[in-house]
Structure 1
Amino acid sequence: MNLEEFLPPALDLLAIRSTADRPADLHRALDLVLDLVGPGFTVERFDSGGKPSALLHAGERRPFRVLLNAHLDVVPGADAQFTPRREGDRLYARGAQDMKLSALVLARVFRELGRDLPIALQLVTDEEVGGYHGTGHQLDRGVTADFVVIGEHSALRVVHESRGMVTARLHATGLAAHSAYPWLGDNALLKVTRAVDAVVRRYPVPAEEAWRTTVNVARIGTANEALNQVPADAEAWLDVRFPAGDTDFDGRSPEQVAAHLAAVSGVEVEVARVEPPHRADPANPDVVALQEAARAQGFSGELLRKHGAADSRFYYGRGIDAVIFGVGGDGQHGPDEHADLTTVVPYHRALTGFLSRL
């Protein structure tokens, strides 16, 4: 693959403001990539929650040997970020690193190999807002595979594990009273503070990066507005991140997690979401082969763990090994997001080498 020939369609894709609130641009981004792949493939289109997606393959749908997954949506950015600019080996734009360049490489590799190999290309447009209407929706409709490569940025390293997420609220009820007579009341803020302390003692904040369950206390508040009143209600917001294998959270329903946190905290708990973690077996021959393909291009191919969530969690929940493997760059979701152009051609070669071994 020639980088200079690859860049013009990449610039066109990066210029599309494909954020969740712009459905027409989500369709434009999807259609651009479908046009790049070209004719000769079966294209299954999906639409869920106003978010379009597509599955491309040769012939009838079946359990694919390898599924290539890419999302074409981006988070909001400044106007200037949708006018891509190149500075040496860096390409600056919203979505350059996360993950439009990787998506185009996956599309190109599929175009070159998809007619001869049992692979498929999955294009979605809602990863940045949860993935339920893209990857999640397609899997609910029976799409499956033996192994999945997700083109999120990794600088040709192999992300085999990421943490799950719980969003919860602790609720405490007390008794209002005049603040001059606190013994006549029951301070709900003190209750919820003690509850938060109990949760943080169970899951302490690490002093440095650690692969274990962590809790972020995002907010503590009350409806009380009077300085001279004992608060009768209070709540705290918690963001819990947990690795695969943590039996307090992994594989648990929202009701089970709420009961667990209530037992720890001693107050009422409401759990809004439980998102599963993701883990692929490092000994899986496909994981090993992908590492070898990266090393053949002069990269380490080392295994990585990511603390954030990705669409890989949908596959983990169905017993399918999925890894994240993409181009390099920096500044994800920030004002200086950029892709490292020196990784684009090696990424194409590594994917081609990996898939050719099938």
Structure 2
Amino acid sequence: MDLVPLAERLLGIRSTADRPDELRRALDFVLDVVGPGFTVERFEAGGKPSALVYAGGRRPHFRVIFNAHLDVVPGADDQFLPRRDGDRLIGRGTQDMKLSALVLASVFRDMAARLPYPIGLQLVTDEEVGGRHGTLHQLEQGVTGSFVVIGEHSALRVVNESKGLITARLHAVGRAAHGAYPWLGDNALLKLMRAVDGVLTAYPVATAEAWRTTVNVARVSSGNQALNQVPADGTAWLDIRFPPQDSDFAGRTCDEIAAHLTALCPPGVTAAVDHAEPPHRADPAGVDVLALQRAARAQGYSGELLRKHGAADSRFFFQRGMDAVIFGVGGDGQHGADEYADLTTVEPYRRALTAFLEGIAEREGIAKRVAEPDGIAEAEGVEPEGIANP
């Protein structure tokens, strides 16, 4: 519970995507919590800062990476004034995921220098807007690891699978005319409405939780600004989430997905895909997944496996053959007005992470580290690990 006062200060930092100074302030705050004695690599892409922290002077292949994002979605002013209500800490970013980030930072601080294998702390500030300038950018700069723990909320359950993410546009082309003479024109918005109906017929709007593809029609617009004019163009933006089992999207290229969506539309409407990112999956029988489950159960939690409908930075690790899971504190109200973290889960979470790290050395028989001349500590008698194959 010593982290709660720190969390309240961090939660007061309005680290939204449109406030670059606050993103840097949040990043520096957590680096200060970690303290001196570690190597800090700083990165920046797209105006979004991030950092990678580790012991020693040369970046290794990490046995474990702790990944945390410090950005939050926008909220009302009072949401950045955190408050306690019994065992709840209420405010923007409590559950998603500043409190978990502080736990990860504190466990790293206490464990990294004494573990007989290298671990890294990855702090990013753009997860809520796609993660491409934080986690993805660091991976593109050569950061690797065998197993990744992402501190998104999970109430000490282990999220080993999450849906893929596609952002697509349906674009309709018509012919302009005076609104009083619609037979002289070709209304692009009417075409667009039929196109959206075609897509939603194939992928109906979910009325209850289901592990299947969902399509959210996020925005519809037209260049037409006059009420008395037949629109000559229209665009609908789609947010598509899909599980690995959906062969319409899984393993397909952007062009192939665009062709599939276009086939669901009437003539005059075509689809374009801006991003297509695969689902994420970590082997449920993997030794690290099982060990993390055991660590959660030892703290009185189920440690059960979960599927996550939303995409997370775990997808970037999966694309590069690295096993990643989501494992964090409890709470509710993510992105809502009453978002809160369950403070009763904080200490069990910290103990579970500590036990998980200690168990790796015991399980793999890594006895000690020998200091090398360049200041890097290597595990004696242990060959460097390759990247885990999910």
The reply to whether TM is greater than 0.5 is: yes
| Residue of structure 1 equivalent to 2:79 | 81
Equivalent-residue separation in structure 1 for 2:150 and 2:62 (angstroms): 15
| Residue of structure 2 equivalent to 1:15 | 12
Deviation at 1:67, TM superposition (A): 0.5
Equivalent-residue separation in structure 2 for 1:177 and 1:31 (angstroms): 57
Q: Which runs of 5+ in 1 are unaligned?
A: none
**Aligned pairs, number:** 355
| Residue of structure 2 equivalent to 1:152 | 152
Q: After superposition, give the CA deviation of every residue in 1:263-306 in whole Å (9 maximum; x if it has no partner).
A: 23243112222233211121111111111111111111111111
| Residue of structure 1 equivalent to 2:280 | 278
Q: 1:126 to 1:218 in 2, by over 3 A?
A: closer
Q: Secondary structure at 1:299's aligned position in 2?
A: coil
Q: After superposition, give the CA deviation of every residue in 1:149-202 in whole Å (9 maximum; x if it has no partner).
A: 000111111111111222222222234456777665544333333322222222
Q: Secondary structure at 1:265's aligned position in 2?
A: coil
Q: After superposition, give the CA deviation of every residue in 1:239-272 in whole Å (9 maximum; x if it has no partner).
A: 2111124332233332222122112324311222
Equivalent-residue separation in structure 2 for 1:154 and 1:66 (angstroms): 19
Equivalent-residue separation in structure 2 for 1:178 and 1:6 (angstroms): 64
Deviation at 1:25, TM superposition (A): 2.1
| Residue of structure 2 equivalent to 1:104 | 102
Q: After superposition, give the CA deviation of every residue in 1:64-98 in whole Å (9 maximum; x if it has no partner).
A: 11100011111222222222211211111221111
Q: 1:141 to 1:206 in 2, by over 3 A?
A: same
Is 1:169 matched with 2:169? yes
| Residue of structure 2 equivalent to 1:196 | 196
The aligned runs of 1:210-289 (5 Å cut-off) are 210-224=210-224, 230-266=230-266, 267-289=269-291
Deviation at 1:224, TM superposition (A): 4.8
Q: 2:296 aligns with which of 294, 297, 315?
A: 294
Code of the residue aligned with 2:325 in structure 1: it is: V
Equivalent-residue separation in structure 2 for 1:33 and 1:175 (angstroms): 55
| Residue of structure 2 equivalent to 1:37 | 34
How many percent of aligned residue pairs carry the same amino acid?
71
| Residue of structure 1 equivalent to 2:141 | 141
Equivalent-residue separation in structure 2 for 1:125 and 1:177 (angstroms): 47
Q: Secondary structure at 2:264's aligned position in 1?
A: helix
| Residue of structure 2 equivalent to 1:25 | 22
Deviation at 1:39, TM superposition (A): 2.1
Q: 1:196 to 1:107 in 2, by over 3 A?
A: same
Equivalent-residue separation in structure 1 for 2:226 and 2:72 (angstroms): 43
Q: 1:49 aligns with which of 46, 50, 69?
A: 46
Q: Secondary structure at 2:246's aligned position in 1?
A: coil
Equivalent-residue separation in structure 2 for 1:178 and 1:16 (angstroms): 52
CA RMSD of aligned residues (A): 2.1
Deviation at 1:206, TM superposition (A): 3.2
Deviation at 1:138, TM superposition (A): 0.4
Deviation at 1:230, TM superposition (A): 5.0
Deviation at 1:357, TM superposition (A): 0.7
Q: 1:80 to 1:257 in 2, by over 3 A?
A: same
Q: After superposition, give the CA deviation of every residue in 1:206-231 in whole Å (9 maximum; x if it has no partner).
A: 34211111112334454456667654
Equivalent-residue separation in structure 2 for 1:177 and 1:83 (angstroms): 53
Equivalent-residue separation in structure 2 for 1:112 and 1:24 (angstroms): 29
Equivalent-residue separation in structure 2 for 1:96 and 1:127 (angstroms): 15
Code of the residue aligned with 1:338 in structure 2: it is: Y
Q: 1:153 to 1:224 in 2, by over 3 A?
A: same
Equivalent-residue separation in structure 2 for 1:195 and 1:255 (angstroms): 18
| Residue of structure 1 equivalent to 2:206 | 206
Equivalent-residue separation in structure 1 for 2:162 and 2:183 (angstroms): 48
Q: Secondary structure at 1:237's aligned position in 2?
A: strand
Q: 1:187 to 1:294 in 2, by over 3 A?
A: same
Is 1:315 matched with 2:317? yes
Equivalent-residue separation in structure 1 for 2:344 and 2:16 (angstroms): 27
Greater Cα offset, 56-65 or 266-275: 266-275
Deviation at 1:349, TM superposition (A): 0.6
Q: 1:188 to 1:50 in 2, by over 3 A?
A: closer
